[in-house]
Amino acid sequence: MKNLPNGIKWLIVLGVLALMVVLAWKVNDRASRVEMPQPDNTFGIYRSAEE
């Protein structure tokens, strides 16, 4: 890694960051399409907005 020019090192860093952005975007896109279940109010911790 010490023998690589600075430009190549920055390209590697930017490539890794771009990959992380793409993966985060894909995870967020998939998670936004999953239907979430209603909250379980077994212990009565949720209150309605009317109260």
What pLDDT was estimated at residue 49? 63
Position with higher pLDDT, 38 vs 18:
18
DSSP class of residue 24 equals H
Reported as a pLDDT band with limits 50, 70 and 90, residue 42 is confident
- Cβ proximity of 47 and 39 under 8 Å: no
**Model confidence at 31: pLDDT above 60:** yes
- Average pLDDT, stretch 20-49? 86
Q: Please state, in angstroms and rounded to a whole number, the distance separating the CA atoms of residues 15 and 7.
A: 12
What pLDDT digit, counting tens, does each position of 1-11 carry? 778 899 999 99
Integer-rounded Cα radius of gyration of the chain: 22
The candidate with the shortest Cα–Cα distance to 39, out of 30, 27, 48, 50, is 48
What pLDDT was estimated at residue 27? 94
